[in-house]
Chain A
Amino acid sequence: MKLVTAALAALVIILALGQEARAQTLDLTVNPLSFAYPSGDPDTMPNVSSPLITVTYRVRGNGKGAWHLAVRANGDLVSGPDSIPTTNTTWTGTFGSGTLTNSDQTIASGIGNVNPATTGNITFTLQNLWTYSAGTYTQTIVFTLSVP
């Protein structure tokens, strides 16, 4: 009987935890999920840009809490031993503009809920320099929606 009581008590606690966690529901979608910068002659294309990327986010059950939408790169553009610094990339769009870095930069924030969902767009632009070594470079850009 003690075991049953303990289990029921644990259930109550877990239910409470679950309820608290469920209280804040976040939705975040990015489209497209991948892109390739166009290649080109640096003299005629000193910068190359991504397609327009849409970022849709929604925050529910947040009460009067703060929320943040951030962007960062997981590292430099890398091709084997060669790399292109993340900071050679800038971003612009409905979230304003800035230089991409390897740490989170808040591009949107607020208090309370964002419901219905809001959609913004962002475009990344990379300096196209002669100094880059030939190769196929890859990078991951991370969008993060968070509440406290």
Chain B
Amino acid sequence: MRPGLRQLTRCGWLLMAALLAVAADTRAQNPLTQNEAVTFVVAAQAKLTLSLTTLTFPNADPDTVTTIQANEGPMTITASARFASGQGILTVLASDDLRSGMNTILVSALKWTASGSGFVGGTMSNSAAQTVAAWNTSGSYTGIVTFTLDNSWSYAIGNYGTTLTYTLSTP
């Protein structure tokens, strides 16, 4: 092949390659896309709402009323929690036995039953937090808790009281 012809051929190939690139580029514009990057941060969070802040148990004859219902009726607990893994737990702990001056009623006389996803019944304690509910996934959970107090002739007369503390904890 003559040098001039060889050069012409080379130019042809180069031009063809360039045009191929241009053609590919223009065809790549259809369809044309634009990306939108989205971020959403879900923070660990816990929220607890109790429908009652006071529970009172009326006087009753131990022979006819062995377990006393609270005057206020059931308590509604709403526990909402967001966590990554593990378990959300709601516990309750009494500050002391029920006290009236020097007299006491063991706080274990206070019991509850419960309904609602994750909620369980139990017996009150002032030494170890008792589980009221537990969940394996984030969510907002509502439970109905009904309290009873064991009645007994052995109780000295008086106005008894204690404080219950509910704690919602997440991992």
Which A positions have Cβ atoms within 8 angstroms of B? 1, 3-4, 7-8, 10-11, 14-15, 17-18, 21-22, 24-30, 33-37, 39, 41-43, 48, 50, 53, 55, 74, 77, 79, 82, 84, 124, 126, 130-147
Contact = CB atoms under 8 A, between A and B. Distances in A.
B138 interface: yes
Interface in B79-109: 80-85
A21 B22 CA distance: 9
Contacts of A135: 41-42, 84
Nearest to A8: B12
Interface of B: 5, 8-9, 12-13, 15-16, 19-20, 22-23, 26-27, 29-45, 47, 80-85, 137-140
16 contacts: A4-B9, A4-B12, A14-B16, A15-B19, A18-B26, A21-B26, A22-B26, A33-B36, A34-B36, A43-B47, A77-B40, A84-B40, A131-B138, A134-B42, A137-B42, A141-B35
B27 A21 contact: yes
Nearest to B31: A146
Contacts of B82: 130, 132-134
Contacts of A131: 137-140
B5 A24 contact: no
Contact of B40 (A29, A37, A142): A37
A74 B37 CA distance: 10
B40 A14 contact: no
B14 to A, nearest CB: 10
Contacts of B15: 11
Contacts of B5: 1, 4
A140 B43 contact: no
Contacts of B26: 18, 21-22, 25
Contacts of A4: 5, 8-9, 12
A39 B34 contact: no
Contacts of A21: 23, 26-27, 30
